[in-house]
Amino acid sequence: MQKNLFRKTIIVATAILLAGASIIPNISGNIEQNISLIDNDINDKSRELKTSPDSEIDHFPNEKPIEKLGGSAHMGVKPSSPYVIVGQEFNISIYIDPDEAVGGWEIFQLNFTQGKVEATEVLPGSYWTDYFDAGNIDNTQGTITTIQTWTNGSYPNINHTACVINFTALKSGICSFEIGRIQVNNATFYDMDVTTHNATILTTTPPIVSNEYPVDTSINALRPPSELSIDVQDSDEDSMDVYIRWKNHNSEWITIASYTGVSNGTYNFIPSYENDWIWGNTTYTWSVNISDGAFWTNETYSFTTGGSRFDVSNNDLVNFQDAGQVWVHRSSEAVYDGLYDVSNDGQVNFQDAGLTWINRE
Ligand SMILES: [Ca+2]
Ligand SMILES: [Ca+2]
Ligand SMILES: [Ca+2]
């Protein structure tokens, strides 16, 4: 099986060189020049080798510019995500976007940031499964060398995936993927002009949270709690944005505290004791949402207040005063704070006042 399409190229080049040597006996003084010519245009068999005894003069005054025998293509790196969590797997796709059909290609070297990621596997794109050499991964150098392939057809003439390389993220930081020397051939094995495109990703660890207060699912919490607080830590010491959100009585999430561009620490919301939107004997839900610029860490907590839902004045007593306050507010249609809607049906009316009266102590 012919594994390496480029071997064919070398054989042709050698044949031309030998032919030239037999025709022109004194070739040795200019052999470098001839090899250079052959390298540049090995497939143009009609071209005659020319030599001159004097290396100072222009050997090819009438030489036309070397013909472009293949078309052109872009080859680039497309990561599966611009951000990857340390410890997780991801991949990069190498794509070829050609202006004519591609018969084969080789990446002599692909470089990646050593130590940040670990390459695990090189897999062919769907057009390149006939003869595929996955190359050599060297994670200590951050290289993959001699990934090469050719096909019996069909020859793709569209933007397609040449190969996919699987990685695992090892450490936080910026990781670049750089296509080094490459060769792309058209369907008749002529070289194509290739423009390469590199890529970078950010590998990172998301922030973690701990020590929420009130403790999640706690009961008999103060009404209102003295604070809502959370410890926030990012192991990369990335700058963070921290948001504390509250689910109000209409089940809408509202942001009640925000901190931007902060570092590791404790962040809180301290309610005013005028915040009489806190019911007694009611379960509340709140959340913390933290971004390190790449990933969000979101946690949701709940707590249940002590006391009675009918104690609208929040003085630990349910009596005629509470019933009276609800009665005064009985015509509220758009409930602002929910406090007087003791039945929690979206409106304040005589039923709420009645319930409060019934539940007086
Ligand atoms: Ca981070
Ligand atoms: Ca009361
Ligand atoms: Ca009601």
Distance CA 80, CA 136 (A): 22
Residues that place a CB less than 5 A from ion ligand 3: 341, 343, 345, 352
Integer CA distances (angstroms), 352 to 286, 321, 355, in order? 26, 13, 5
Token representation of residue 166: 């699987």
pLDDT at 336: 52
Give φ, ψ of 353 to 5 degrees: -65, -40
pLDDT at 19: 38
Distance from the alpha carbon of residue 358 to the mean position of ligand 3, in angstroms: 14
CB atoms within 10 A of CB 253: 15
pLDDT at 145: 98
pLDDT at 58: 53
Distance from the alpha carbon of residue 168 to the mean position of ligand 1, in angstroms: 17
Average pLDDT of adjacent 10-residue blocks, the chain of 361 residues: 42 38 37 39 38 48 57 97 97 98 97 98 97 98 97 94 98 96 94 97 97 97 93 96 91 94 97 75 95 96 94 90 89 65 84 91 83
Distance from the alpha carbon of residue 322 to the mean position of ligand 2, in angstroms: 5
Please report which residue ranges of 41-80 form alpha helices under DSSP H: none
pLDDT at 13: 39
Distance CA 139, CA 111 (A): 10
pLDDT at 62: 54
pLDDT at 248: 83
pLDDT at 151: 93
Distance from the alpha carbon of residue 295 to the mean position of ligand 1, in angstroms: 7
